[in-house]
Each structure stands twice: as C-alpha cells, then as structure tokens.
Amino acid sequence: MITPDSRTQAGSRAETAGFSLKRWWQRYRLPYFLLLPAVVIFVAIILYPALSTVWISFHKVQLTSVEEPFVGLKNYQIILSSSLLQKVITNSFVWTLSSIFFQFVIGFSTALILDRMSGVGNFLRGILLLPWVMPGIVIAFIWRLILSPDWGIANLFLMQIGAIHESVAWLARPSTAMTAVIVANVWKGFPFWMVTISAGLKGISSEIYDAAAVDGASGWRMIRYITLPLLRFPLFVTSTLAFIWTFNYFDLIFGMTRGGPLDATRTVPLYIYDTAFTSFRMGEASAGSVLLLIMMSVIIFIYARSMRVQGGQS
Amino acid sequence: MQHAGSRSFSLVRLTSYAYLALIGVFAIFPFYWMLINSLKAPNEVFAIPPTYFPSEVSFDSYTNLFASNSMFPRNMLNSFIVATSTAVLATLIATMAGYSFSKFRFPGNRPISYSLFLTQMFPVAAILVPLFIIFQRLGLYNTLGALILAGMAFSVPVAIWLMIGFFDAIPSELIDAALIDGASQIGVLFRIILPISVNGIVATTMYIFISAWSELLFAVTFTSSRELATLPVALSNFTGQYGTDWTGMMAASVLTALPVAIIFLSLQRFFVEGITSGAVKN
C-alpha cells in the first residue's frame, strides 16, 4: 500500500543513490571548511616546495640570472661523483646510528630503574627530560665550553680518571670531532627514549614479572624474554622517529663545528645548507635534497606500512 | 638461602641507584656548568684547572647583554614576536582542524590526518632552497614573517595531533545534547568545546612557543640582517662578533634556555604525554 509517507521515503532514497553534489556540499562543508587553513599551509609551505625541489634539481638555477635552463641529470652527476657526498653520507650514518644506540642504552636502563620507583620516579623523569627540550644552539655552546682544550672540564675529568694523559682539542681535530658531537647528542636525546620506554613499561602488568619470577627467571632473562618483546611496538616507533630526527638534525652540529674540521662532522643537512647558501649552488643542493627526500620517503613508507600491520594485530 | 637472595637483591638495587645518580649528574652537570660560567669573571673561564665555583660572582656578563649598544634585547624581542605569532596562529588553525578531525565523519578524514602526522618526519633541509626562492620572490626574504610562515607549516600538524587528543576526550553526548537543544555546529564549538579545552589549547600554544623560540635552521636561512636575528641566530654568531667571550655566551645561553625550562617544568605532565602519545598510543 502506498502512503504519502512511504513515497517521500522512496524519493529521498533515489536522491541519495544518485550522487548529489548539493547534498554532499551541505553535509561536509563545515568539516572541510575547518580544515582549509591547515591544508593550505601544508600545500604552500611543504608540498609545493617539495615538488619544486625536484624541478630545480633538473635545472640550472642561479639567484643572479632570470634564465633557468634545463640541464637534465647534470646536478646529480656532479654530486654523485664527488667524494664529499660519500663522506657526508658515511658521516650521517655514523652520527645517527651511534647517537641512537647510546641514547637507547641510557634511556632504556634509566627507564627500567625509574619504573621501580613510584613518586620520586616521576619527579626525576621530569628533571631528566630537560636536555630534550633545550634549544640546540644552547646545547652546542654548553658542550663547546665543556669540551674546550686546556680549560675544559671534560679534559680535566678524563685526565683525573686516567683516560687521557694530556688535554685534547676535541672539536678541532677531525679524528675526535665526531665523537664529541655524538656525546652532546646522546646527552640531548636519551630522555626521549627514556620517556617513551617508561610509558611502554607502564603498560606491562607486574603479574607477568611475578609469574616469571616464580618460574625462576633472573633479571637479565626477564628483560630479554619479557620486557623487550612486550616493548616491541614503542621501541619500533621510537627508533624510527629518532632515526629520522637525528639524521636530519642540524642545530647541534651547526653550533658546535659547522660541519668541520675538514668536513669531519658534515652530515646531510649541513651539506645541503652549505652547498646552497655558502657556495650558492642551488641545483646541486636540490639534487641532494631530492636524494634525501627519496631516502626518507622509503623509510617513512616502510614505517607507515608496518604501523598498519602492527596496529591491526593489537 | 632466602637471606642470600635478599642481599643480592639489595646489591642490585644499590648498583642501579648509583647508576641512576651517575646519569643524573651527566644530565644536570652541563646546566650547572652553563650557569656557573655565566657568573664568572671573563678571565676565570680560562683558569687551568677549571674552577667548579666562581671565586667571585659577577653579573657583568648579564648587564653587558643589556648595555645600550647590545643587540641582545632586540634579538630577544624578535624571538618573542616569532614564537608568539607562530604559536597563536598555529594553535588557532590546529584547533579548527582538530575539531573537524575529531568530531566529524567525512571522506578523507583518516588519510588526511595520517599524512599530516607524517609531516613531523619530513626532512626540513630538503625544502630550504625552494622556500628561500619563494620567499625572495614574494618579498618575504629577510622578514620575521617568513620565519612565522615556515614555522607554522611544521607546527600545525603537531598541534592538530595534540588537539585531536583533547577533543577525543570530550564525550559526543555533550555535543549531541547541545545540538538537540538547537545549537549550531559552530555554536557548539564556541560555547561548549572551546571552554572545556582551554587548558589543552594553552598547553599546545606553549608547546609550539618553545619549538619556535628554539628554531635555528629557518632563521639562519631566511634572515640575514642583524636587526632581524632571533636569539638562536644571534647566539650562533656570537663567537665571530666577540672573540671567545665565554661568560657572555653562557649568560646569553642561560637567558635563551630559561623561558624554555620554565614553561617545560610548569607543563611537564602535558609535555610528557605529548612526547609519548605518538610513540605509544598510536
């Protein structure tokens, strides 16, 4: 039986079945409108420049001339055949992997200890986090003073414990400069690991440990077979973030050595910065940027995929 | 047997506290060293062996920073302008976007918020050249506006992420009730959501303020004149200008670090949550 009521219902069903731009607009205009400024900023300041880096890398761009002729892969040829790029990439990996390894060791061990302390633990965690939020340039200056040659406190300390016999100009020697900037970066970065691992540890119930203790598991075995596997997800996220942030970290090395001495501490961001704004070779800098973008995209892609896989499981 | 067990347990405990104390000294000592050297007389910095406490406490390095010919107050003002504008504008934009992501279903919600989240891993150095050229063509090169725009692009995503966290905690029933009472969607935002979220909005603003206050790479790239130098840029030029005036450098470092430390310590819990939310909660 057809009532006026059911007829209008059928009518509206027909209307939703066919795509109606007007309804769509009415329904979604508010959420899209609220997003608009964020999306505009993102497109204008991140997406568009990222695409134009690719364009610039295939052209000869000079600030002094209006013409920007196409040069094909020439910029890539120049940087890939230079020995500097090889050194820069090696430096970047030494800097990144050593930094995050020691940050992890200190961050993980302090988080484990703080986890057993209740109220005081929270307070200490807050204090220990201070290095993480400090401006990079301030950290650079403090460590430059600490690592100064004769009047530096690090030299005095190391001589007192007998690790070295005469004072070392840590930042002025190519053989020691990288170690020095890594020490400063470990100081800055370990709190991040500590905090994320602490948060992960809170999620592990003490019953699991109790059960393992009843079964006779010792401290090391508990860490190896219970704690680390249960922390797999936070550790995975933290190490991905730390890898990318450390790889791209500019301020600390810029403030401590400016990439020197003799390029001993020159990492990818300092290489791009100096190629573009000290040597004014925009094309080469952009070619380097594109290589960096590709590498980071691959890492982020793998990260995003495995996040989805892991997220789906949990 | 039991006795031996408890003794080895307390030994573990003792070792771990000693280790913690060592890490504590490692974490705190550089701050102490910065402060103490800012209070030394210029020559005492070069004493061999270095002194752990100034033989005579001197505030000269601080008063010199505020002498009439010093650019330091100007640098501080520049940093304050950039950090405040970036923080306020980014939070405003992020509040709108966060409300949209959190309380509306629409096509693209997930993918857009996800790709915004991934921008915090974006290699900033990779877009320096095009941004430099764009700012130069728009006449924004060597202005504080360039620093604010560039800073916003990278703080908006973080801020959106934090705001989504706050808005998600607000029960939808509250909004539904208001809508039934005849309030408009925008009315709900202004009369209900925003008043509840004031703490979160303030904390987010402070979070961005700190990162904009510390920002160096954009500032050295997009400004060149001394009048526009922010604190990090001025600090990085310090050595060149004054030789190795370590007490002055340490005093400037203390004053640059101080606002960051104060804001961080007063909003500690929020910061810890902000840092861990991405890594743990997903």
Q: What is the 3-state secondary structure (H, E, C) of chain A?
A: CCCHHHHHHHHHHHHHHCCCHHHHHHHHHHHHHHHHHHHHHHHHHHHHHHHHHHHHHCECCCCCCCCCCECCCHHHHHHHHCHHHHHHHHHHHHHHHHHHHHHHHHHHHHHHHHHCCCHHHHHHHHHHCHHHHCCHHHHHHHHHHHCCCCCCHHHHHHHHCCCCCCCCCCCCCHHHHHHHHHHHHHHHHHHHHHHHHHHHHHCCCHHHHHHHHHCCCCHHHHHHHHHHHHCHHHHHHHHHHHHHHHHCCCHHHHHHCCCCCCCCCCCHHHHHHHHHHCCCCHHHHHHHHHHHHHHHHHHHHHHHHHHHHHHHHC
pLDDT band of A180, cuts 50, 70, 90? very high
Between A45 and A305, residue with greater pLDDT: A45
Q: Is B170 inside any structural domain?
A: yes
Place of tokens 């840590």: A170
| Domain co-membership, B93 together with B191 | yes
| Domain co-membership, B21 together with B98 | no
Question: Would you call B250 an interface residue with chain A, using a CB distance cutoff of 8 Å?
Answer: yes
| Domain co-membership, B29 together with B103 | no
Q: Is B275 inside any structural domain?
A: no
Q: Is B274 inside any structural domain?
A: no
Q: Mean pLDDT lowest for which of A140-154, A196-210, B15-29?
A: A196-210
| Domain co-membership, B87 together with B225 | yes
Instruction: Give me chain A's average pLDDT, please.
Output: 85
The size of chain A, in residues, is 314
Which of B12, B128, B164, B194 is the best residue to mutate to test the A interface, defined by the most A CB atoms within 10 Å of its own CB? B128
pLDDT of residue B7 exceeding 70:
no
Q: In CATH, what number is assigned to the domain containing residue B178?
A: 1.10.3720.10
pLDDT, position A313: 43
Place of tokens 């003792």: B14
ipTM of this complex: 0.89
SS3 B266: helix
Contact A130 B31 (CB under 8 A): yes
Instruction: Give me chain B's average pLDDT, please.
Output: 87
| B window 164-193, beta carbon within 8 A of A | 185-186
pLDDT of residue B279 exceeding 70:
no
Q: Is B244 inside any structural domain?
A: no
pLDDT, position A309: 66
Q: Mean pLDDT lowest for which of A4-18, A48-62, A84-98, B261-275?
A: A4-18
pLDDT of residue A243 exceeding 90:
yes
pLDDT, position B9: 64
Place of tokens 């620093």: B147
pLDDT, position B193: 85
DSSP-derived letter for residue B193 is I
CB neighbour list of residue A296: distance below 8 Å, 6 or more residues apart: A244, A247, A248, B121, B122, B123, B126
pLDDT of residue A154 exceeding 50:
yes
| Domain co-membership, B20 together with B96 | no
Single-letter amino acid code for the residue at B210: I
Q: How deeply is A38 buried, as exposed, middle or buried, from its count of CB atoms within 10 A (0-12, 13-18, 19+)?
A: buried
| Domain co-membership, B51 together with B85 | no
Contact A130 B261 (CB under 8 A): yes
For residue A38, give the nearest of B28, B93, B210 by CB distance: B93
| Domain co-membership, B95 together with B163 | yes
For residue B221, give the nearest of A41, A277, A311 by CB distance: A277
| Domain co-membership, B139 together with B8 | no
| Domain co-membership, B222 together with B107 | yes
Q: Is B147 inside any structural domain?
A: yes
Contact A262, A186 (CB under 8 A): no
pLDDT, position A218: 74
Nearest CA in chain A to B213: A135
pLDDT band of B33, cuts 50, 70, 90? very high
Structural domains in chain B (count): 2
| Domain co-membership, B9 together with B132 | no
Sort out which chain A residues have CB atoms less than 8 A from B28's CB and list them.
127
pLDDT band of B16, cuts 50, 70, 90? confident
pLDDT of residue A284 exceeding 50:
yes
Can you tell me the mean pLDDT for A190-203? 89
- The residue out of B216, B236, B256 marking a domain boundary is B236
Can you tell me the mean pLDDT for A90-113? 95
pLDDT, position A13: 46
pLDDT, position A9: 42
- The residue out of B199, B221, B236 marking a domain boundary is B236
Sort out which chain A residues have CB atoms less than 8 A from B210's CB and list them.
133
For chain A, percent of residues with pLDDT exceeding 70: 91
Nearest CA in chain B to A280: B129
Residues β-bridged to residue A59 = A70
| Domain co-membership, B76 together with B54 | no
Domain that holds residue B26: 2-61
| B window 130-169, beta carbon within 8 A of A | 130-134, 136, 149-150, 152-154, 156-157, 160
| Domain co-membership, B26 together with B83 | no
pLDDT of residue B35 exceeding 50:
yes
For chain B, percent of residues with pLDDT exceeding 70: 92
Question: Would you call B18 an interface residue with chain A, using a CB distance cutoff of 8 Å?
Answer: no
pLDDT, position B268: 82
Q: How far apart are CA B97 and CA A32, in angstroms?
A: 9
Contact B278, A237 (CB under 8 A): yes
pLDDT tens-place string over residues B41-100: 888 888 888 888 888 888 988 998 998 888 999 999 999 999 999 999 999 999 999 999
pLDDT, position A222: 81
- The residue out of B61, B82, B103 marking a domain boundary is B61
Contact A255 B50 (CB under 8 A): no
State the Cα angle at A198 between A196 and A203, rounded to 5°. Answer: 100
Question: Would you call A244 an interface residue with chain B, using a CB distance cutoff of 8 Å?
Answer: yes
Can you tell me the mean pLDDT for A118-145? 87
pLDDT of residue A189 exceeding 80:
yes
pLDDT, position B2: 41
